[in-house]
Amino acid sequence: MYTDTERCVRAVRSKDARFDGWFFTAVLTTRIYCRPSCPAVPPKAENMTFYPSAAACQQAGFRACKRCRPDTSPGSPEWNARADTVARAMRLIQDGVVDREGVPGLAGRLGYSARQIERQLLAELGAGPLALARAQRAQTARVLIETTALPMAEVAFAAGFASIRAFNDTVREVFALSPSELRTRASRGPSAAREAQGARGAHNARGPEQHGTPGAISLRLPFRTPLNPDNLFGHLVATAVPGVEEWRDGAYRRTLSLPYGHGIVALSPRPDHIACRLSLTDPRDLTLAISSCRRMLDLDADPVAVDEQLRADPLLAPLVDKAPGRRVPRTVDAAEFAVRAVLGQQVSTAAARTHAARLVTAHGVPVDDPEGGLTHLFPAPEALAGLDPEALALPRTRRATLTGLIAELADGSLRLGTDSDWDEVRQRLGSLPGFGPWTIEVIAMRALGDPDAFLPTDLGIRRAAGRLGLPSTPSALTRRAAGWRPWRAYAVQYLWATDDHAINRLPV
């Protein structure tokens, strides 16, 4: 979009928050870059230039606006709605892969050379993987500076910087403030909190110690409005595995398995953001924890574009108008979800939770939850590889399906994650015993994040289609749904919402 100058200028002049994250406005006279919705008086059109990423702005010598905090805007919807190499690379960079594995590690995951990845990212984003990762490190550093009391040296290394000097230089260059000045500015109280309103890593000015868990990091996760939290949180809570997930005091809580340790997150829906409280055993996991939570809640979606497309079907339009902004509830761990999808084949939600809870108790890693309620991490495929199939209270065919899946995941034959090629994973799953269209598509929708995944064989979808006057046979419904592409996964959420099931209601 950033190449459409006229459209970008209109968005800036109208302060349209829907375009935050789609592009960034750099002001040639002040050398500052902003998000489109910046509350400051818009500059003259001839003084604006536009970039596709915060990293590109920083690389061109612009610094972040202190008022609108453009580096903390919602992520571009493109990176979670596409499966090409650039989109997969961006998801991996957002997860901190470059910091952990370097550019060669990023390229290796994608099956390309480092030079090829560099060229593709530069062409589309105006910045290479190192610059994009540097921008990510700067934002992680800002979150830790503003929301924790960690010494600056620990912040630097937790954010992924190789040296204190690189940390200090980057923070000064990006934010025009030293790390200590950022912390002082954040501690000024209500004015700082107002300034941070809606920011991706914005903190609560009261500080982490006043949220019940000492050392917790409190954040505000922004989203593009509208957002309907009913099915989003209702689905997560209705299918929650005891010991791993729970709903308490208006928050969805769960354990997280992370590269350097583990974490516990509490997520609460608010009118203009998702309140996020993270407790981590190692602060180096902050970047991945935040991106995983954003992906699970589908917070980078563009609901206006989705709903506009779905409204074009006159039989679907009333559902969209009644409760716009539905998101697709996803997952923080694709392999975990795949195992749970098999456990849930042809059984009730309660039965699936029971099966999963047994696996967790027997094979999950215990964790300490200071608030009580959460007891384990969901077991990794490697921990389940030695599972005795006879110990599972499942039909023989489903035991074979589950053990086959676990073996593929454990030995790396099947890779599920942000770098997955959606079509390749579908083909691989289809070659395994017991994987039919429903299981494959629900994994594509919720584990891989394919926005066009569709479940025409789902009984709930077919019932909803019949009630609305839509075709109810899978083949006919698939033909009708061609007009909903590329957002058929969102249409599934609207169709499911016609059923009075707990997955469609915000817990109380």
> Largest Cα–Cα distance in the chain?
71
Rounded to 5 degrees, what angle do the CA atoms 232, 238, 239 make? 95
Bridge pairing between strands 32-34 and 63-64: parallel
Spatial CA neighbour of 447 closest among 416, 492, 407: 416
Neighbours of 273 (CB within 10 A): 20
Structure tokens that stand for 428 in this block = 């691989």
d(CA 185, CA 199): 15
- In the three-class reduction of DSSP (H, G, I as helix; E, B as strand; rest coil), residue 92 is classed as helix
Cα within 13 Å of Cα(423), Cβ side: 3
Q: Which residues pair with 25 in a beta bridge?
A: 34, 50
Contact by Cβ (8 Å): 328, 442:
no
Whether residue 321 lies in the annotated active site: no
Q: Which of 8, 20, 34, 38 is catalytic?
A: 34
DSSP 6-34: HHHHHHHHTT-GGGBTTBEEEETTTTEEE
Helix 179-186 vs helix 129-147: crossing angle, to nearest 10: 50
Neighbours of 450 (CB within 10 A): 25
Whether residue 285 lies in the annotated active site: no
- In the three-class reduction of DSSP (H, G, I as helix; E, B as strand; rest coil), residue 65 is classed as coil
Structure-derived torsion over alpha carbons of residues 106, 111, 117, 123, reported in degrees to the nearest 10: -130
d(CA 155, CA 183): 12
Distances, alpha carbon 294 to alpha carbons 74, 80, 339, in Å: 9, 10, 22
- Non-local (6+) Cβ contacts of 125 within 8 A are 52, 53, 55, 56, 86, 90, 132
| 3-class secondary structure per residue, 287-313 | HHHHHHHHHHCCCCCCHHHHHHHHHCC
Q: Which residues pair with 326 in a beta bridge?
A: 228
- Non-local (6+) Cβ contacts of 414 within 8 A are 405, 408, 425, 428, 429
- Non-local (6+) Cβ contacts of 227 within 8 A are 269, 299, 303, 325, 327
* Residue 202 phi, psi (nearest 5): -65, 145
Distances, alpha carbon 86 to alpha carbons 132, 446, 501, in Å: 12, 21, 38
Q: Which of 99, 285, 307, 458 is catalytic?
A: 458
Q: Which residues pair with 263 in a beta bridge?
A: 256, 280
Where do we find the tokens 């509830």? 329
Active site residues: 34, 458
